[in-house]
Structure 1
């Protein structure tokens, strides 16, 4: 097993619990939802955060519009005695994303080669083509994964 494959599988295991986490944030954002749940006014929160009341409103608006800086969101969370949880969670397992990319590249290459081979009446079909496709995919996945993301195939 390649080191990158092990790394992808290890990261997938760490991300599994997050995949089930609901990604929908409250309509006005987490800052306001937690502040409201704690019964804290914007004035009181501003004092805890060490900013002006209009700055609190700007933070809440920025979070709701997804324009707040991550550092400011972390400070806002800390002032609410909250932990900011930040992660990029792939929609599918990383190994599946890598395999799909390798398949797409291989299929594009085989299509180009197939056209040339048909012109020369040397087309490979059926089980031989499937075997060749599997070998090419495996070769891509065993190699440097960075090659998978080059636009030039």
Structure 2
């Protein structure tokens, strides 16, 4: 993907991260069972709309609670209950931009630490090694963004 489009994609994803992080965690019994119960539907009623058995709905609910269900199956059951499936991927911490910068940051920090170590052996160790690493990271990121 071209760099300018990659940057655009990162910023688009980052705009949605906070909203996604504000979503509640999945209920212990799963979203399917929780939604079905809240709607006052039985497994048999949902199964009838899907042209499946009540046991199939029970298996779908159990599979979701154990992280063993496919998105396709989730979408089908949700649709039978008059719902849509929405899923999202978010970084564990920070933003997508931070996550994308991490490899460059790690390489720059490693390289600066190597130079600082060599300078320390020559009794020339700089006081601001962390700032040097950050500056080198930004230099590399800016170089990559300007290509």
> Considering the TM-score relative to the shorter chain, is it more than 0.5?
yes
Long gaps (5+) in structure 2:
none
Long gaps (5+) in structure 1:
146-153
1:1-153 paired onto structure 2 within 5 Å: 3=4, 4-22=6-24, 24-90=25-91, 91-119=93-121, 121=122, 123-126=124-127, 129=129, 132-144=132-144
8 Å contact kept, 1:98–1:141: no
Cα drift, residue 122 of structure 1 = 6.5
Residues 1:115 and 1:142: Cα distance change in structure 2 (over 3 Å): same
**TM-score if structure 2 supplies the norm length?**
0.79
**How many residues are aligned here?**
141
Residues 1:19 and 1:126: Cα distance change in structure 2 (over 3 Å): same
CA–CA separation in structure 1 for the residues paired with 2:17 and 2:84: 18
Give the aligned CA root-mean-square deviation in angstroms.
2.5
Runs of 4+ in 1 over 6 A off after TM superposition: none
CA–CA separation in structure 2 for the residues paired with 1:130 and 1:65: 44
CA–CA separation in structure 1 for the residues paired with 2:45 and 2:111: 62
